[in-house]
Amino acid sequence: MSPIDFLTDLLNPDLAFLAKALAVAVMSSIVCGVVGSYVVLRGMAFIGDAVAHAVFPGLAVAFVVSGDLVLGGTVAGLLTAVLVALFSQNRRLKEDSIIGVLFVAAFALGVVVISQAPGYAGSLQQFLFGSIAGVPDRDLYVVAGVGGLVLVVMFAFHKEFVAISLDRESARAMGLRVFWFDLVLYVLVALAVVISVQTIGNILVLALLVTPAATARLLTDRLAVMMVLAPIIGGGAALFGLYLSWSWDLPTGGVIVLLLTAVFLLAWFGAPRHGLIAQSRLRARRRRALGPDEPGPVTDSALSRPTGSPPSPPTTPPSNTTTGWPTPSLDPPPGVEGGADRRSGEAEAGQQAVGELGPGAGGDGGFDPVLVGRADQFD
């Protein structure tokens, strides 16, 4: 099928589900790209996977009772996010252990619930792998509304999310309520997953959340640019994935994920600064600049003396030609660094550094602009 034929089908009223599927896929990609930037920055891909599985029982219950799928998935995702945040406060167990227990239990509960519905096999396949024909008109508006709400909250708490992502302990020392912001981020991840499940499926939705952001991370060092590139990569993969799946009768979710993976591999090898090829060239240039590992020229006068000759006399301070006495020096003798003056200079340097760091650096609980300023510039 040519792109012109695909565009004709998109505009065909008899194939309205195709246009709705494209709209949901693009909107989901945009939301997941922005949310996924924080997920990748914090290294919480496992949490995204847990939330993706945790929404499954809510979707299953909503399907069995003929309720709203988005609402059911949202409730299940919120409940799981709250449980993860609460149980993670126990320092005896790490966060990943809590997540592993909860998301497996939630997924098993979803399988048990969906098995009670008529047409069990077909319903399970639709939830796990998505269906472009299963997007009703009302869900189109729900996805748009929920996606817009997620983006608004994300940008409203952007600085706080970045501060917590870069250094949790420093953010807590600055007075940020880390627990509540963690909870808000978990909820936003759950909402992004819920609005993406119908198009790409419950199993593959993690790729839409992580892969575009990880690809953008290889292409830029700035968070703002990363949050723009990730939705573009995800939206482009959704568009071309839907085109290929419609042309060749392939699963939409699988094709979208494969395209995202292909783009990630291209960035992994060919990114201008952080790609494998660029890093190899950089290492090669450094080796050429350093040259072969050969000993440098011998400059020690002792080694250049003839064998058996006496050592050179020690260097003496320059003498005053008038009196013959050594010229006084303003520098302290070797090993003596001027105790009082040195301590005074260090104190002034410390006060200057604290002044440059802002009110948060002095321990008064204020907001540290230097730490938060790393939002747009991180490595």
We report the CATH number of the domain holding residue 23 as 1.10.3470.10
Q: Do the domain assignments include residue 106?
A: yes
Q: Do the domain assignments include residue 369?
A: no
Q: How far apart are CA 93 and CA 103, in angstroms?
A: 16
pLDDT in the model for residue 369? 45
Helix (H/G/I), strand (E/B), else coil: 126: helix
Q: Do the domain assignments include residue 14?
A: yes
Q: How far apart are CA 162 and CA 372, in angstroms?
A: 7
Amino acid identity for residue 89 in this structure? Q
Q: How far apart are CA 161 and CA 365, in angstroms?
A: 17
Q: Do the domain assignments include residue 335?
A: no
Q: Do the domain assignments include residue 346?
A: no
Backbone phi and psi for residue 326, each to the nearest 5 degrees, phi listed first? -60, 140
pLDDT in the model for residue 329? 47
Parent domain of 237:
3-278
Q: Do the domain assignments include residue 376?
A: no
Q: Residue ranges of the chain with pLDDT lower than 50?
A: 294, 296-305, 307, 322-324, 326, 328-331, 335-343, 346-347, 349-350, 352-379
Q: Count helices and strands (H / E) in the chain.
A: 17, 0
pLDDT in the model for residue 31? 93
Q: Do the domain assignments include residue 284?
A: no
Q: How far apart are CA 222 and CA 378, in angstroms?
A: 6
Q: Do the domain assignments include residue 265?
A: yes
Query: Tokens 């006399």 identify what position?
Result: 313
Query: Tokens 């012109």 identify what position?
Result: 4
pLDDT in the model for residue 119? 64
- Do 151 and 31 contact (CB within 8 A), yes or no? yes
pLDDT in the model for residue 292? 59
Query: Tokens 């978990």 identify what position?
Result: 186
pLDDT in the model for residue 63? 78
Number of domains in the chain: 1
